[in-house]
Amino acid sequence: MTHDGRLSLPESEMTWRFSRSSGAGGQHVNTTDTRVELIWSLTDTTVLSPAQKELAASRLANRLVDGRITVVSSQYRSQHRNREAARVRLESLVSDAVVPPRQRHKTKPTRGSKQRRLDAKKRRGAIKQGRSGGWE
């Protein structure tokens, strides 16, 4: 973990792909590969424990393709900044996914909340009661 609570993933587990980015930048955009695709394998990583892998797999199920997560960044004009942005996004995504779920503490409804619920039911019943009756 880094000092801001984000998980630190080793560079050796990451695969990078670069392509031309769209958007502003003039002729520079047409000649340089600034768009970054970062591919990281959840199944092959050595950083996470088996329990963390399982938790991350369930939480990131919609992002996983063959056990891999792909993060794309093309918001900056330089490849270096896009690489950093993609890495930060991946690390925060994985960090959030491996946080264990918090235990829920059972609580009783308060007297006020019970009273408000009953009052609302009475009001609703009165509205429905008012609908019965004929057209005068």
Q: What is the mean pLDDT of residues 21-34?
A: 66
- Report the pLDDT value the prediction gives residue 136, as an integer from 0 to 100: 64
Greater pLDDT, 105 or 13: 105
Domains and CATH numbers, the chain: 11-96 (3.30.160.20)
Residue percentage of the chain with pLDDT more than 70: 85
- Report the pLDDT value the prediction gives residue 105, as an integer from 0 to 100: 93
Q: What is the mean pLDDT of residues 35-54?
A: 84
Greater pLDDT, 107 or 67: 107
Alpha helices in 14-110 (DSSP H): 27-31, 50-59, 79-97
Dihedral of CA atoms 109, 114, 120, 123 in degrees, nearest 10, equals 170
Angstrom distance (rounded) from CA 17 to CA 37? 5
Q: What is the mean pLDDT of residues 107-111?
A: 95
- Report the pLDDT value the prediction gives residue 3, as an integer from 0 to 100: 47
Rg for the chain (alpha carbons), in Å? Answer: 26
> Residue 92 pLDDT more than 70?
yes
Q: What is the mean pLDDT of residues 93-99?
A: 86
Q: What is the mean pLDDT of residues 77-82?
A: 84
- Report the pLDDT value the prediction gives residue 26, as an integer from 0 to 100: 62
